[in-house]
Amino acid sequence: MSTVFIISAPSGSGKSTLVNGLRQTVPDLDFSVSYTTRAPRGSELDGREYFYISRTEFERMIVSGEFLEYAEVFGNYYGTARRFLREAQEKGHDLLLDIDVQGASQMQEKLKEAVSIFILPPSRRELELRLRRRSQAENVRSEAIIQRRLHTASQEIEKYREYDYILVNDRLEESIDRLIAIVLSERMQHQGRTPATAEEQLRFELAGQCRLERMRASIQNILASFAAECTAPES
What residues does each domain of the chain span? Answer: 4-32+93-231
pLDDT of 234 above 50: no
**pLDDT attached to residue 232:** 46
The model's pLDDT over 192-233, given as tens digits with 9 standing for 90+, comes to: 999 999 999 999 999 999 999 999 999 999 999 888 655 444
Q: Does domain 4-32+93-231 have CATH number 3.30.2350.10?
A: no
Instruction: Compute and round to an integer the Cα radius of gyration of the chain.
Output: 18
Buried b (16+ CB within 10 A) or exposed e, 93-117: bbbbbbbbbbbbbbbbeebeebbbb
Model-wide pTM > 0.85: yes
The model's pLDDT over 121-164, given as tens digits with 9 standing for 90+, comes to: 999 999 999 888 887 777 777 788 888 888 888 889 999 999 99
Higher pLDDT among residues 41 and 87, named by residue: 87
Handedness of CA 51, 60, 67, 12 (dihedral sign): positive
**pLDDT attached to residue 229:** 57
| Alpha-carbon span 111 to 3, nearest angstrom | 10
**pLDDT attached to residue 90:** 96
The model's pLDDT over 28-84, given as tens digits with 9 standing for 90+, comes to: 999 999 999 999 988 889 999 899 999 999 999 999 999 999 999 889 999 999 999
Contact residues for 8 (Cβ-Cβ < 8 A; gap 6+) = 15, 98, 99, 100, 101, 103, 104, 116, 117, 118, 119, 156, 159, 163
Q: How confident is the model at residue 2 (pLDDT cuts 50, 70, 90)?
A: confident
Q: Is 6 exposed, middle or buried (0-12, 13-18, 19+ CB in 10 A)?
A: buried
**pLDDT attached to residue 227:** 81
Amino acid at site 39? A
Q: Whose CA is closest to 57, among 77, 85, 73?
A: 77
Kind of pairing, strands 76-81 and 35-36?
antiparallel
